[in-house]
Amino acid sequence: MRDVITTYPESRRDDQVDVYQNAAGEAVQVPDPYRWLEDPDSPETQAWVAEQNRVTQAFLASLPARDAYRERLTGLWDYPREGAPWKRGEHYFRHFNPGLLNQPVLEVATSPTGLWRTLLDPNTLSSDGTVALGSASVSRDGRRLAYGTQSGGSDWMTWQVRDVAGGQDLPDQLTWSKFSGAAWLPDGSGFYYAAYDAPQDGGALTSTNRHQRLMLHRLGSAQAEDTVIIERPDEPDWGFRAEVTHDGQYLVVHVWKGTDPRNLLWVRPLHSDGPFTELVSDFHASYRLIGNDGPLLYVQTTADAPRGRILTWNVETGEQREIIPEGPNALQEDFTVLVPGGLLTVALHDASHRLTLHTRTGEVRRELPLPGLGAVVSLNALPDDPEVFLAFTSFLSPATPYRLSLPEGTFESLSDVAPAFDASAFEVTQEFAVSLDGTRVPMFIVARRGLNRDGRNPTLLYGYGGFGISLTPAFNPSRLAWLERGGVYVQANLRGGGEYGEDWHQAGTLGDKQNVFDDFIACAEHLIASGVTSPAHLGIQGGSNGGLLVGACMTQRPDLFAAVVPQVGVLDMLRYHLFTIGWAWASDYGRSDDPDMLGTLLAYSPLHNLRAAAYPATLITTGDHDDRVVPAHSFKFGAQLQRCQTGTAPTLLRIQTRAGHGAGKPTRLVIEEAADIWAFLEHHLKLQSGQATSS
C-alpha cells in the first residue's frame, strides 16, 4: 500500500478573523478560516464529512492487519462481563453483557449469585444499538427503577420508570435532562433529578447548557407538573445533584460549577419547604456526603487537605470534627462508604488502589488486601448491611465482582470468567520519568515478559492529565490484541490528574497546563532512553482532554512520535467554551475572553500551533453526535493539519455517525474503531511480522 495521500477533500478557507485582547491590553487578531465547520448540520459540512470518511476508509481498508484485528478483537470481547451487584429492598441488581451485545443489560435477582432475569435490555430500544442506558436508580424498597436513556451518543437523557416485579414501564417520561442522577424519596413516590430548558432552533448538539434546575417528579404526574426545588437564574453556571440520606431524614444538595472539583453543600429536612442550611457557601474546596447517623453527617473534603480527609458535621449544632486526617495517599471521593459500624476508604498509592476499613470514629480496623496491583471500579454498600460488593480490575485481568463480608474482611469472587487470553505471558511494571521541572511522573508499562529493550518495540503511550481524573490500572480487551502481536502499552499518570491529590491536579491547570505536556514528553523520552522504544516506533493516544494532550504534544514535538491518535479531542482552545458544556472546563483551562489567559491558551492550543512541518501519521476520531466535545474541534484541526503537513505521513479523520463522546457506544462500533486504530498504529510504528505471535 502507499502511505502518501496525494489528494484530500477540499476544505474551504474563509477570511474570518477574531479579535481578542491580551494581558497588555493589545488587540490580537486570530484567523479562523474553518468556522463553517462548526455547523455539523449544514449540507457543506456533511458533504465534507462524507468525503473525509471516504478517504480514511479507503486507507484503513488497505492496512494488512485490519481484518486480523477485527477478528481477534471480536473473540477477545466475547466473554461474559458481570458488574458488581447492588441491593435495594429484597432485590439485587447488576449490569451484564454475555459477550457481544451492543449494550449491557440490567438484571435483577433475589440473591447476588442469581438466578438473574433481565429487567431492562437497551438493545431492544434501537435497531443499531445506539440507544444506551445512561443512568439507573432503584427505589429504596426495590420496587421501581428510574432509568435514563441516551441516543446516538448524546449526553441528553430521557427518564422513564419501570416496575421491577412486572417489567412494565409506567407512563412517566422526563426529557431534556443532562448530568443528572435520580434520588428517590424514601417511600418510592417520586425522585429528584436535574433538567434544562429545551434547546431552541435545533441546537441540541451545540447550544450551551446553562441554568440547570433541580426538580422533584411525583410518579403518575406529567413533567410539566414537576416541582422546582432549586433554580438560580442569577447563577446560570450552577448545577445541582440531590441525595436523600439513607434514613430518609435529609435532602442534601451538592452545588457544582463546571468541572471545578470545589462545590457547595446544602441540607434541609427532607419534607421541609423551607430554606436550605448552607453548610458550605463558597467554592473553596470539594465536599462530598458519605452518609449520616441522624444529624451527624460524614463528609469527605479537600479543605486544608489536598489529598482528602474525613470529618463529621452536626447539622443541628454546626460542630465539625475530623475523624480521618489527611494521609500520604489521596482518598478517592467516589469510593468512601458507610458500612455497619464503620467506613471503607479507597486511596491511591502511586496510581493503584488501597482499601481500608475504619471505625466510625476514624480508627483503622484493618487494611484489606486487594487481589493485585489494580483498581476498584465500583463499591456498593449500605450503612446497615454487612454485604458489600465491589469490582476490581487490573491491566491483565477483567473487572471481577466480589462480595466483601464484614467485619471479617473476606473476599468472595462472584465470577470466574475471562477472555481467551494468556495473561501469564505478560507483565506490568511501574517506572518514573523526570519531567522538565524535576517532578517524578509515574507510568505503567505493560508488555511481554522479558521485553527486549533494543529500541525497536512498537509502543503506544496513553495519557489524560486533567480535571483531577486519575488513570488507574484498567482492563481493556482491545489492548490484549496489541500486546499479543508484539506491542507495548504504556499509561502515564500526568499532572492535572488526581493521582496524588488536588495539588497534583492544580499543578496541571490554567497557567501551569504546560506541565501536563512536559510530563508526557518526559515519559516518551524516558521510554526512548531506557530502550523500550524509539521515535520511529512510538505512538501516542488520548481522548477528550487527552486528545488535547496528544494534539499539543505533536505540535510541540513532531519529531518525537511516529503516529498520533487524538480522539474526540479539545483542540480549539479559543472557542471551546462556546458550545454545550464546554464553558464548564474553564476551571482547568481558563478562557480566551480573559486577557490574562489568552497568551497561555494560544501558546498550546493544538489548532493554533500547526505550522508547515513534517507531522507524524495522524488518525483523528470523533462522533457526529458528540455534544460534549463538539466535532468541530476535530474537523477544524484535521483540515488545518492536512494543509500544514509537509511530510508524507497521512492525516486522516474517522468520523463515526450516530456516535458521541464515547459513553454508550455499541460494542460493534467499539470493535470496528479499535481495529482501525490498532491497524493504523501497527503499520506506522513498524511492527515487524516476525514480532507478532499467534493467538
Torsion angles phi and psi, residue 521, rounded to 5: -65, -40
User: CA-to-CA distance for 676 and 654, rounded, in angstroms?
Assistant: 9
Q: Grade residue 693 by pLDDT with cuts at 50, 70 and 90.
A: very low
Pick the CATH number of 17-74+421-684 from 3.40.50.300, 2.50.20.10, 3.30.2040.10, 3.40.50.1820: 3.40.50.1820
pLDDT at 182: 97
Average pLDDT over every residue of 524-540 = 98
- Give pLDDT, residue 329: 97
* Stretch 511-527: mean pLDDT: 98
Residue 203: pLDDT band with limits 50, 70, 90? confident
Q: Which residues contact 124 (CB under 8 A, 6 or more apart)?
A: none
Strands 488-492, 440-448: parallel, antiparallel or unpaired by DSSP?
antiparallel
Split at pLDDT 50, 70, 90, the class of 200 is: confident
Quote the CA–CA distance of 442 and 491 in Å, as a whole number.
Answer: 9
Q: How far apart are the first and last CA of the chain?
A: 25
Please state, in angstroms and rounded to a whole number, the distance separating the CA atoms of residues 502 and 282.
17
| pLDDT tens-place string over residues 296-310 | 999 999 999 999 999
Quickly count: other Cβ atoms within 10 Å of residue 454's Cβ: 10
Q: What is the pLDDT of residue 207?
A: 77
Do β-strands 320-324 and 309-314 pair in parallel, antiparallel, or remain unpaired? antiparallel
Cα angle 152, 153, 157; round to 5 = 90
DSSP string, 457-519: --EEEE----TT--------HHHHHHHHTT-EEEEE--BTBSTT-HHHHHTTSGGGTHHHHHH
pLDDT of residue 664: 66
Amino acid letter, residue 107: E
- Active-site residues, by number, are 544, 626, 661
Q: Is the pLDDT of residue 694 over 60?
A: no
CA torsion through residues 556, 471, 528, 687, sign:
negative
The CA distance from 291 to 293, in Å, is 7
- The pLDDT value recorded for residue 662 is 60
| Least confident interval from 369-383, 515-529, 588-602, 651-665 | 651-665
Enter the pTM of the model.
Answer: 0.93
Task: Please report, to the nearest 10 degrees, the dihedral formed by the alpha carbons of residues 507, 511, 515, 516 taken in order.
Answer: 90
pLDDT digits (tens, 9 = 90+) for 639-675: 999 999 999 999 999 998 766 666 667 899 999 999 9
CA 481 centroid distance within chain: 23
Contacts of 659 (CB under 8 A, 6+ apart): 130, 152, 153, 623, 624, 625, 626, 665, 669
Compute the distance between CA of residue 295 and CA of residue 274 in angstroms, rounded to an integer: 17
Query: Mean pLDDT, to the nearest integer, of 430-446?
Result: 98
| Pairing mode of beta strands 337-339, 342-349 | antiparallel
Residue 382 pLDDT > 70: yes
Q: Is the pLDDT of residue 594 over 70?
A: yes
pLDDT score for 661: 63
As a whole-number percent, the residues of the chain with pLDDT over 70 amount to 97
Looking at residues 322-346, what average pLDDT do you find?
96
State how far the Cα of 501 lies from the Cα of 65, in Å rounded to an integer. 41
- CA–CA dist 360, 339 (Å, integer): 9
Sheet hosting strand 157-163, strand order edge to edge: 131-138, 144-151, 157-163, 169-177
Q: What is the dihedral of CA 65, 488, 434, 377, to 10 degrees?
A: 100
Q: What per-residue string of b and e applies to 391-416 under the rule 16 or more CB within 10 Å gives b?
A: bbbbbbbbbbbbbbebeebebeebbe
332 DSSP assignment: P
CA pair distance 242, 253, nearest whole angstrom: 5
Confidence (pLDDT) at 408: 83
pLDDT digits (tens, 9 = 90+) for 55-114: 999 999 999 999 999 999 999 999 999 999 999 999 999 999 999 999 999 999 999 998
| Helices (H) then strands (E): counts for the chain | 10, 40
Residue predicted with more confidence, 1 or 280:
280
Instruction: Measure the CA–CA gap between 282 and 554, rounded to whole angstroms.
Output: 39
CB 292 within 8 A of CB 246: yes
Beta-carbon contacts of 477 under 8 Å, excluding residues fewer than 6 positions away, are: 73, 76, 77, 398, 419
Mean pLDDT of the chain: 94
Domain parsing of the chain, residue ranges: 17-74+421-684, 328-417
Q: Is the pLDDT of residue 402 over 90?
A: yes
DSSP assignment of 555-571, as one string?
A: HH-GGG-SEEEEES---
Cell of 171: 407512563
pLDDT in the model for residue 660:
61
pLDDT of res. 663: 65
